[in-house]
Chains A and B, each alone.
Chain A
Amino acid sequence: MGGPARVTINSDHHNAGAIKIAIDEVMSRLLTLEARYSRFKPGSLISQINARAGTGVFTPIDLETQSLIDLSDQLWRETKGLFDPTVGVLNQLWDFRTGRANTHVQLIHLLEKVGWDRVEIDERGIRLPEAGMEIDFGGLVKEFAADAAAAILRDAECQSALIELAGDIVAIGTEPHDRAWQIGITDPQAPARSIASVQLTNAAVCSSGNYARRFLHNGKLVSHLLHPRTGQPIDGPCSVTVIGESALVAGAIATVGCLHSEVLAESWLRQSALPWLVIDKHNQCSGPLGCSRSKP
């Protein structure tokens, strides 16, 4: 999934054996999910689906993949197509280093290959109707992996743990002495520092940001996230953080927050009624979680 993973467990001696087995299981589960959903691994399910684009062949899917597809579909509907797992093909259009787009001919050609509503899903599985189409569930799988790891540890009766997969964190119980887990929110201007801190107990906090991959376009620093209908960069917030009970839902809401303009992002996040924090391109914060540089 292309990011660091860290699991912190506080355990006493009486269940150390079960926890050790659970850690091995967590590692195995994370590697399995990466092998299954990474679009960069040639043998993955996603690569198989993409390789069969335009061939007419369906790729069978199981309940897990179906659920991720259903969530993607729901997000596509909720956002009127702004969240689109087929948008990745548009990355070919941009040279993110120079901030220039390739030709309009290419734009039109590539936009024809975008459209979640064109993906065919039925009892036989999933099929992309046109050669060159791609899907990518990367925006959801990391969060799902964090939840899956937490579920394994909970099943092993782990009372205190923190699962961190890049910006997605799930807390089980509290730190020792019943103190809530203290989680720092990355400062987009200085990713080594925290801009805010949240307390977490039996919950997940997910941050989605494009600060690491912004580029200059027409004199403006814009996101590498592209609009699925225009192919143009989205001028959205630098970072969105959401707290929820599951990383998958919190992460999905944070991801969609980054796809909106800053004004619409706040409206979307308010609709979720979950605690959230938006950091705009001026590095100012807004949202119920608050930070040291909150907007007046």
Chain B
Amino acid sequence: MRPLLARSPLVRRLSQTVAALPVYHGSALADAPPAFTEVGLRYTQYAEDSLADDKVLFGSKDRYDIDITQLWIEAPVGASWSIALDLQNDYQTGASPWFVGATADGNPGVIMSGASIQDNRVEVGVTTRYFWADGNAGFNLVHSKEDDYEALAWSMDAAWNANGNATTWSVSASSSHDTVEPTQERIPVFIDSETLDTHSLYFGVSQILSRTAVVKVGLSYTYSEGFLSDPYKLRDQRPEEHHRYTLATGLRQHFIRLGGSLNADYRYYSDDWGSQSHTVSLGWVQPFDRHTVNPYLRYYSQGQADFFSPIADFTSDYYSDDYRLSSFGALTAGLRWTLELGDWIAEVQLERYVSDHSWGTFGGGEAPALVDFWRGTVGVIWRFD
């Protein structure tokens, strides 16, 4: 039998206000399948800025545009299970840096791949989740296919509540197998088919500190083995193994007088390629009646990989001029707005990302092709019994 408590949006809203009380732990107010079937449709447009004239030696200055369409449905199954189906289609067009050469005055300049790339990626994911009074566990399977790339991934996760639900422990494990078969278009590629295997582990804990504050800490480790270079870059030879570590912390502080919440997060990343990064995010979530506004700001600083140089150095075993492996700093500013109207939720989000070598906290060479982009999202969610 479906929980009586969770039948209507009204009952759900009322129930949520007392869900933190120990009296209601172990009931439908604790971990339980979603009370509704949810169907969502979201469209995102990602548009990279054109490169500046003085950064390009040859080729188009225009970069990637990606249209992302997501459709999902999540439904309860019986009293203890839920199932979700996620579909995503990405259509990307544009050009990307092929390699970095030197301008007449010796400064690095980008040779672009030409505005020829058009690709479509389709991703299908299925998640099933089991709920019990003190926690839940899920299994997820994802298949992704595009012209030159295919990936199959699975993940398992579990979360359980302890200490009167004041503490939640989380673990997850995932694995993926990717195959890349580059297509020959305007630029030459030097492989026919390569594979990449990635395995990841996560462990985290969140703790309710007070009636208005929650903190969380998570550690993750990811190991990749296989073809990690970019086949569409001329001068890109990376190691065939990659060990990555992250430490993520977060604070959710609710301010009763203001009726809003501060989200503050910090993430540290390090890998065996010599790169590391700091990410600091601050966001504010402010409900106004049926509206919720969420402005946020994120600062990112990355130190370059050992084998990166602005103009790739062929004399080394490993080398790359990929701007994504360089040292830089980046700022993201965004605003998300949602409106809840009965069983319907509408969302609009706009985000601006800008990066600059001088904004980083790490030393290293400056890549000429750092990316800036806009990202806009509109979506609608329908929940029904």
**A67 near B385: Cβ-Cβ < 8 Å:** no
Contact B21 A63 (CB under 8 A): yes
- The residues in B between 260 and 316 inclusive whose CB is less than 8 angstroms from any CB of A are 289
Among the 9-residue stretches B7-15, B95-103, B109-117, B152-160, the one with 4 or more Cβ atoms under 8 Å from chain A is B7-15
- Could you tell me which residues of chain A, from 232 to 247, have a CB within 8 Å of some CB in chain B? 243-246
Q: Is B4 an interface residue (CB 8 A)?
A: yes
Q: How many residues of A contact B (CB 8 A)?
A: 36
Near A by CB (< 8 A), chain B positions 190-226 give 211-212
Q: Looking at the assembled complex, report how far the CB atom of A98 sits from the nearest CB atom of chain B, in whole angstroms.
A: 37
Q: If A123-B257, A244-B5 touch, does A272 touch B13 (CB 8 Å cutoff)?
A: no
* Cβ-based interface call for A70 (8 A): yes
Q: 22 A–B contact pairs at CB < 8 A?
A: A67-B18, A71-B14, A71-B17, A74-B13, A78-B13, A121-B257, A122-B255, A122-B256, A123-B256, A147-B23, A148-B23, A151-B24, A151-B26, A245-B4, A245-B5, A249-B5, A249-B15, A271-B8, A272-B10, A274-B4, A274-B8, A274-B11
Does A105 reach chain B (CB closer than 8 Å)? no
B23 touches A253 (CB 8 A): no
B261 CB, min distance to chain A CBs, angstroms: 13
Residues of B within 8 A of A144 (CB): 18, 23
What are the residues of chain A within 8 A of B5 when measuring CB–CB? 244-246, 249
In-complex Cβ contact of B211 among A63, A147, A203, A243 (8 A): A63
A62 at the interface (CB under 8 A from B): yes
Q: Does A141 contact B (CB under 8 A)?
A: no
Cβ of A190 within 8 Å of any chain B Cβ, yes or no, is no
Judging by beta carbons under 8 Å apart, are A71 and B18 in contact?
Answer: yes
Task: List the A side residues contacting B13 at CB < 8 Å.
Answer: 74, 78
Q: How far is the CA of A68 from the CA of B15 in the complex (A)?
A: 11
- Chain B 13-34 near chain A by CB (<8 Å), digits 1 or 0: 1110110111110111100000
Indicate if the CB atoms of A273 and B385 lie closer than 8 Å: yes
- B interface residues, Cβ below 8 angstroms from A: 3-5, 7-8, 10-11, 13-15, 17-18, 20-24, 26-29, 211-212, 255-257, 289, 385
Going nearest first, the 10 A-B pairs with the smallest beta carbon separation are A122-B257, A273-B8, A245-B5, A70-B17, A245-B4, A273-B7, A71-B17, A63-B211, A151-B23, A67-B18
Complex: chain B residue closest to A63, CB-CB: B211
In the bound complex, CA of A62 to CA of B210 (Å): 9
| A-B contacts besides A253-B14, A273-B10, 20 pairs, CB < 8 Å | A63-B20, A67-B17, A67-B18, A67-B21, A68-B18, A71-B14, A78-B14, A121-B257, A122-B257, A123-B257, A151-B26, A244-B5, A246-B5, A246-B27, A248-B18, A249-B11, A249-B15, A253-B10, A273-B7, A274-B11
Cβ of A112 < 8 Å from any Cβ of B? Answer: no
CB contacts (< 8 Å) of A12 on chain B: these are: none
Docked CA distance A98–B136 (Å): 59
Q: Which residues of A contact B10 (CB under 8 A)?
A: 78, 253, 271-273
Question: Bound complex: CA of A273 vs CA of B212, how far in Å?
Answer: 31
Is A245 in contact with B27, judged by CB distance below 8 angstroms? yes
CA distance A62 to B27 in the complex (A): 22
Smallest CB gap from A147: residue in B: B23
Known A-B contacts A151-B22, A246-B15, A246-B29; the reply to A121 vs B8 at CB < 8 A is no
Q: Which residues of A contact B11 (CB under 8 A)?
A: 244, 249, 253, 272-274
The residue from B26, B29, B211, B255 contacting A154, defined by CB atoms under 8 A apart: B26
Residues 127-161 of chain A: 1 if any B CB is under 8 Å from the residue's CB, otherwise 0?
Answer: 00000000000000000100110010010000000
In the assembled complex, the Cα of A154 lies from the Cα of B20 at a distance in Å of 18
Instruction: Check A95 for interface membership: any CB of B closer than 8 A.
Output: no
B27 touches A249 (CB 8 A): no
Contacts of B18 in A (CB 8 A): 67-68, 70-71, 144, 246, 248-249
Q: Decide if A178 is an interface residue (CB 8 Å cutoff).
A: no
Please give the distance in Å from A228's CB to the nearest CB on chain B.
Answer: 19
Residues of B near A64 (CB, < 8 A) are: 21
CB of B24 within 8 A of CB of A147, answer yes
CB-CB nearest in chain A for B24: A246
A70, B289: Cα distance in complex, Å? 14
Q: In whole Å, how far is B297's beta carbon from the nearest beta carbon of chain A?
A: 24
Give residues of chain A (62-85) contacting chain B, Cβ–Cβ below 8 Å.
62-64, 66-68, 70-71, 73-75, 77-78
- For residue A252, CB closer than 8 A to chain B, the reply is yes
CB distance from B34 to the nearest CB of A (A): 16
- Residues on A with C-beta less than 8 A from B7 are 272-274
B28 and A245 form a contact (CB under 8 A) = yes
Task: Kindly provide the distance from the CB of B31 to the nearest chain A CB, expressed in whole angstroms.
Answer: 15
Contact present for B15 and A67 (CB under 8 Å): no
User: Are A203 and B4 CB-contacts (below 8 A) given A121-B256, A122-B257?
Assistant: yes
- Residues of A within 8 Å of B15, CB to CB, are 246, 249
CA A269 to CA B264, docked complex, whole Å = 40
CB distance from B316 to the nearest CB of A (A): 56
Contacts of A123 in B (CB 8 A): 212, 255-257
Interface presence of A120 (CB below 8 A): yes
Q: How far is the CA of A200 from the CA of B22 in the complex (A)?
A: 23
Separation of A228 and B257 alpha carbons in the complex (Å): 23
State in angstroms the CA–CA spacing of A244 and B255 once bound together.
Answer: 31
B-side contacts of A272, CB under 8 Å: 7-8, 10-11
Cα A122 to Cα B254 in complex, Å, equals 10
- With a CB–CB cut-off of 8 A, which chain A residues contact B22? 151
A77, B27: Cα distance in complex, Å: 25
Contact residues in A for B26 (Cβ distance below 8 Å): 151, 154
Separation of A14 and B283 alpha carbons in the complex (Å): 54
Residues of chain B within 8 A (CB-CB) of A67 are 17-18, 20-21
Measured CB to CB, the nearest residue on chain B to A248 is B18
Q: How far is the CB of A56 from chain B (nearest CB, A)?
A: 15
Closest-CB distance, A142 to chain B (whole angstroms): 14
Residues on B with C-beta less than 8 A from A75 are 14
Asked whether B23 lies within 8 Å of A66 as measured between CB atoms, the reply is no
Q: Within 8 Å CB of A78, what residues of B?
A: 10, 13-14
CA gap between A273 and B36 in the complex, in Å: 13
- Contact between B3 and A245, CB atoms less than 8 A apart: yes
Q: Which residues of A are found within 8 Å of B256, using beta-carbon distances?
A: 121-123
1/0 contact trace for A107-124 toward B, CB 8 Å? 000000000000011110
